[in-house]
Structure 1
């Protein structure tokens, strides 16, 4: 059986997450990229770019952008939105980035596109490859969930009707064995049909884990933010754990 991340990031993913709009992506990308203090034209790699919202926002801000994802379906959607060919779209696995060493001025990893893999070494390998493709003193940004906040605020169940298709989307969330998990069921409530079901899960890595493993991969954290508004990180109250830093020599 394929791992969850090869099953979940398809056409139904675009249905489940259609509420993530492009206008907000522009605002988020503009705010976060400013924290890296990059020169215009800097070459940025968006790791786990999905449908390309943030990659295109970065390109429109004047950066040279490569968007990479494992999902052909999501990359096709990204191509569809990129009418002017602003971004280089690449299919690839974040555990082994398909780029030469020291190619990029910066890498970004947004909306918890990290911690997918069961083997600890696979998640560390993502960090190791980030360092490999960054130029000396190149910047990185990792936007991850705050595991303490997640445990305090997790909504066990929710459901909604997609107005366009009439499909019912049910989501069940839980925390178990160091993972936050979400089971997704999609079906037409007016028909007797078997639901389409998916699982998403992310390792609940804390700040210590990132500090230790980034350092081991010759990356250092310079600043830590608690949300997209640039607020200071609070271990108990911040929704996000957004780390920015540089490649060490």
Structure 2
């Protein structure tokens, strides 16, 4: 799950928003390196087929990280821009650029001048902001960046299922680093605290994602002037069920 956070080394009291700090560290990529990318590719196969995107359609992968999914979308034949706030991730992603695949540092709250046939916001890369207006502004920016016939997709966690199955504490060891993880719900956010020692330092990071339900999204979309077309509950695009679905996938225009 991608997330927002306040992060700092215990030897460094400076704090910044977590998504600017945590996503820009090598440790984030170490902790999550075993994600199921084959499942993600199947999702994009299903999604692009469902949307019936034309060949060479212009696609924006919003919050693209290091661009693995942008690269796959480009391999499917689309003209792709991957955008992310993490400068380090974009530097890495740019190694894969070609004539129809480009990467840019971009704040998702800002719209693009060019218009896209599809905008994908994947793997819970929404709901990071403390300020409600910033989340609404992100939806408005997505709407303003779509072409007249374009579609947008937000792939979010199903908060009902996540909260019901929350693992309060666990330790994950990856590349000889013991990541001590705590999860809890506070003030409408699902919070993950991550503590570990590496390279001779102690680190503390906190991922923080707003626990938006489908009803919450519908209210925001109404306010943003967005039309919700369809919802799905997993990467095979099965029907969304509030209590059991793994994901909340929303198609809108």
Match of 1:172 in 2: 182
TM-superposition CA deviations, 1:20-76 (whole Å, max 9, x none): 254333222212222222111110101100111111111010111000000011112
Is 1:147 aligned to 2:159, yes or no? yes
Q: Select which of 230, 234, 246 maps to 1:227.
A: 234
Cα deviation for residue 90 of structure 1 reads: 0.7
TM-superposition CA deviations, 1:59-111 (whole Å, max 9, x none): 0101110000000111122223x1656521010100113x205x111100000
Q: For residues 109-120 of structure 1, what are the structure 2 equivalents within 5 Å?
A: 109-120=121-132
Cα deviation for residue 167 of structure 1 reads: 1.3
Q: Residue 44 of structure 2 aligns to a residue in which SS?
A: helix
Is 1:100 aligned to 2:117, yes or no? no
Q: Residue 90 of structure 1 aligns to a residue in which SS?
A: strand
**TM-score, length-scaled by structure 2:** 0.89
TM-superposition CA deviations, 1:156-190 (whole Å, max 9, x none): 1121222xx311122111111100011112225xx
Give me the CA root mean square deviation: 1.7
Q: Select which of 195, 212, 219 maps to 1:205.
A: 212
TM-superposition CA deviations, 1:126-175 (whole Å, max 9, x none): 0000011111121010001111111101111121222xx31112211111
Match of 2:55 in 1: 40
Match of 2:149 in 1: 137
Distance (whole Å) between structure 2 residues aligned to residue 210 and residue 116 of structure 1: 14
Contact preservation (8 Å) 2:117, 2:151? yes
Distance (whole Å) between structure 1 residues aligned to residue 93 and residue 45 of structure 2: 19
The count of aligned residue pairs is 238
Contact preservation (8 Å) 2:139, 2:224? yes
Are residues 20 and 85 of structure 1, via their aligned partners in 2, closer, same or farther at CA, if it must alter by over 3 Å?
farther
In structure 2, runs of 5+ residues without a counterpart are: 1-14
Contact preservation (8 Å) 1:36, 1:244? no
TM-superposition CA deviations, 1:180-227 (whole Å, max 9, x none): 011112225xx9x54211111100111112112212222211110001
Are residues 22 and 148 of structure 1, via their aligned partners in 2, closer, same or farther at CA, if it must alter by over 3 Å?
closer
**TM-score, length-scaled by structure 1:** 0.90
Distance (whole Å) between structure 1 residues aligned to residue 172 and residue 209 of structure 2: 23
In structure 1, runs of 5+ residues without a counterpart are: none
Contact preservation (8 Å) 1:25, 1:53? no
**Runs ≥4 residues deviating over 6 A:** none
Match of 1:51 in 2: 66
